[in-house]
Amino acid sequence: MSQEVLEKPSAHPSARVYLSIAAILTAITVVEVAIFYIPAIRGTMVLAPVLLLLSAGKFALVVMFYMHLKPDSKLFTAIFTAPLVLAAAVILALMTLLGAWVY
Protein backbone atom coordinates (compact mmCIF):
# COMPACT_ATOMS: atom_id res chain seq x y z
CA MET A 1 0.00 0.00 0.00
CA SER A 2 2.83 2.33 -0.73
CA GLN A 3 1.74 5.76 -1.81
CA GLU A 4 1.09 5.89 -5.56
CA VAL A 5 0.58 9.05 -7.46
CA LEU A 6 -2.79 9.06 -9.24
CA GLU A 7 -2.94 5.48 -10.56
CA LYS A 8 -3.23 5.11 -14.36
CA PRO A 9 -6.97 4.46 -14.91
CA SER A 10 -7.28 0.96 -16.43
CA ALA A 11 -10.14 0.78 -18.91
CA HIS A 12 -13.08 -1.38 -17.86
CA PRO A 13 -13.39 -4.50 -20.07
CA SER A 14 -15.76 -4.37 -23.06
CA ALA A 15 -19.24 -5.88 -23.08
CA ARG A 16 -17.99 -8.92 -24.96
CA VAL A 17 -15.77 -9.93 -22.06
CA TYR A 18 -18.68 -9.62 -19.64
CA LEU A 19 -20.91 -11.78 -21.84
CA SER A 20 -18.31 -14.53 -22.08
CA ILE A 21 -17.87 -14.55 -18.33
CA ALA A 22 -21.63 -14.75 -17.86
CA ALA A 23 -21.65 -17.74 -20.20
CA ILE A 24 -18.90 -19.48 -18.20
CA LEU A 25 -20.76 -18.83 -14.95
CA THR A 26 -23.94 -20.28 -16.40
CA ALA A 27 -22.06 -23.30 -17.69
CA ILE A 28 -20.50 -23.98 -14.30
CA THR A 29 -23.89 -23.69 -12.62
CA VAL A 30 -25.39 -26.15 -15.07
CA VAL A 31 -22.50 -28.56 -14.43
CA GLU A 32 -22.98 -28.22 -10.67
CA VAL A 33 -26.65 -29.01 -10.83
CA ALA A 34 -26.00 -31.83 -13.26
CA ILE A 35 -23.45 -33.39 -10.89
CA PHE A 36 -26.03 -33.13 -8.15
CA TYR A 37 -28.41 -35.30 -10.15
CA ILE A 38 -25.89 -38.01 -11.11
CA PRO A 39 -26.56 -40.76 -8.55
CA ALA A 40 -23.08 -42.20 -9.08
CA ILE A 41 -21.47 -39.07 -7.63
CA ARG A 42 -24.31 -37.93 -5.34
CA GLY A 43 -23.74 -40.33 -2.49
CA THR A 44 -19.96 -40.49 -2.65
CA MET A 45 -17.41 -38.40 -0.77
CA VAL A 46 -16.24 -36.75 -3.98
CA LEU A 47 -19.39 -34.64 -4.40
CA ALA A 48 -18.46 -31.95 -1.86
CA PRO A 49 -14.90 -31.18 -3.04
CA VAL A 50 -15.95 -31.01 -6.69
CA LEU A 51 -18.86 -28.71 -5.98
CA LEU A 52 -16.74 -26.54 -3.69
CA LEU A 53 -14.11 -26.21 -6.42
CA LEU A 54 -16.68 -25.26 -9.03
CA SER A 55 -18.33 -22.67 -6.79
CA ALA A 56 -14.90 -21.29 -5.83
CA GLY A 57 -14.31 -20.86 -9.55
CA LYS A 58 -17.58 -18.92 -9.94
CA PHE A 59 -16.72 -16.91 -6.82
CA ALA A 60 -13.31 -15.94 -8.25
CA LEU A 61 -14.72 -15.08 -11.67
CA VAL A 62 -17.32 -12.70 -10.28
CA VAL A 63 -14.94 -11.08 -7.79
CA MET A 64 -12.03 -10.65 -10.22
CA PHE A 65 -13.94 -9.48 -13.29
CA TYR A 66 -17.38 -8.20 -12.35
CA MET A 67 -16.10 -6.55 -9.16
CA HIS A 68 -13.04 -5.40 -11.10
CA LEU A 69 -10.71 -6.61 -8.35
CA LYS A 70 -8.08 -7.99 -10.71
CA PRO A 71 -7.13 -4.75 -12.49
CA ASP A 72 -7.82 -2.59 -9.43
CA SER A 73 -5.20 -1.53 -6.89
CA LYS A 74 -3.81 -4.24 -4.64
CA LEU A 75 -5.23 -2.20 -1.71
CA PHE A 76 -8.73 -3.48 -2.42
CA THR A 77 -7.51 -7.04 -2.86
CA ALA A 78 -5.86 -6.86 0.56
CA ILE A 79 -8.90 -5.30 2.26
CA PHE A 80 -11.17 -8.01 0.77
CA THR A 81 -9.09 -11.16 1.03
CA ALA A 82 -7.94 -10.72 4.65
CA PRO A 83 -11.47 -10.91 6.15
CA LEU A 84 -12.42 -13.54 3.55
CA VAL A 85 -9.58 -15.83 4.67
CA LEU A 86 -10.49 -15.11 8.30
CA ALA A 87 -14.13 -16.03 7.60
CA ALA A 88 -13.05 -19.32 5.98
CA ALA A 89 -10.83 -20.07 8.99
CA VAL A 90 -13.73 -19.32 11.37
CA ILE A 91 -15.98 -21.70 9.42
CA LEU A 92 -13.45 -24.53 9.58
CA ALA A 93 -12.60 -23.87 13.24
CA LEU A 94 -16.24 -23.79 14.39
CA MET A 95 -17.10 -26.92 12.43
CA THR A 96 -14.18 -28.69 14.07
CA LEU A 97 -14.89 -27.47 17.59
CA LEU A 98 -18.61 -28.18 17.39
CA GLY A 99 -17.98 -31.64 16.00
CA ALA A 100 -19.50 -31.20 12.53
CA TRP A 101 -17.13 -33.55 10.69
CA VAL A 102 -19.11 -36.65 11.63
CA TYR A 103 -20.54 -38.69 8.72
Residues near another protein (CB under 8 A): 1-7, 9-12, 14-15, 18-19, 21-22, 25-26, 29, 32-33, 35-37, 47-48, 51-52, 54-55, 58-59, 62-63, 66-68, 72-73, 75-76, 79-80, 82-84, 86-91, 94-95, 97-98, 100, 102-103
Quote the least distance from Cβ 86 to another protein, whole Å.
Answer: 6
Burial class of residue 58, CB neighbours in 10 A (0-12, 13-18, 19+):
middle
Helices (H), the chain: 15-37, 39-42, 47-61, 74-97
Spatial contact of 1 and 74, defined as CB atoms under 8 Å apart: yes
For another protein, the closer of residues 40 and 90 by Cβ is: 90
